[in-house]
Amino acid sequence: MSNAGAGGSAHGATFRVSHRWYCPACKRETVTQGTLREIPFHPCPQRHGMTIPMTRAGQKAKVELVERGDYIGTDHVQTDPQGRPWQSVVTTRDDGQDVAVFAPTAQLRSD
């Protein structure tokens, strides 16, 4: 007899693995199905409304926004409702750290 993994089947049954997530800043929770390759993000009211990643439920973490420290010039960068430019969001856990970067948006001009 074989065991079926995520998305596999045993005797015609299909199994889906659920993953629970939460935001360490605002405590919002969500559940996803499937693999862990796609981390859910959400606009966090505790982090100036910026879109930040969620953390697996039960895992301690700290989420910090990093303000842009370089010259912005004519770049189109991510800003909060007050106009503060943000460079990235850093999630620190006991077992490591992840960084999501808010890259400037490209523009196309047609003259």
- Which candidate, 55, 57, 105, places its Cα nearest to that of 78? 105
pTM assigned to the model: 0.73
Q: What is the pLDDT of residues 71-86, one digit of tens each?
A: 888 888 989 999 999 9
The DSSP bridge partners found for residue 30 are 21
11: tokens are 């005797």
Would you state the pLDDT for residue 62? 94
What pLDDT score does 12 carry? 58
Residue 2 has a pLDDT of 41
The amino acid at residue 13 is A
What's the DSSP call for residue 76?
Answer: B
pLDDT value, residue 107: 79
Mean pLDDT is lowest, of 19-23, 28-32, 107-111, for: 107-111
Could you tell me what percent of the chain has a pLDDT over 70? 86
Residue 101: what are its φ and ψ, rounded to 5°? -100, 135
Query: What pLDDT score does 110 carry?
Result: 87
User: What pLDDT shows up at residue 93?
Assistant: 92
Query: Helix, strand or coil for residue 62?
Result: strand
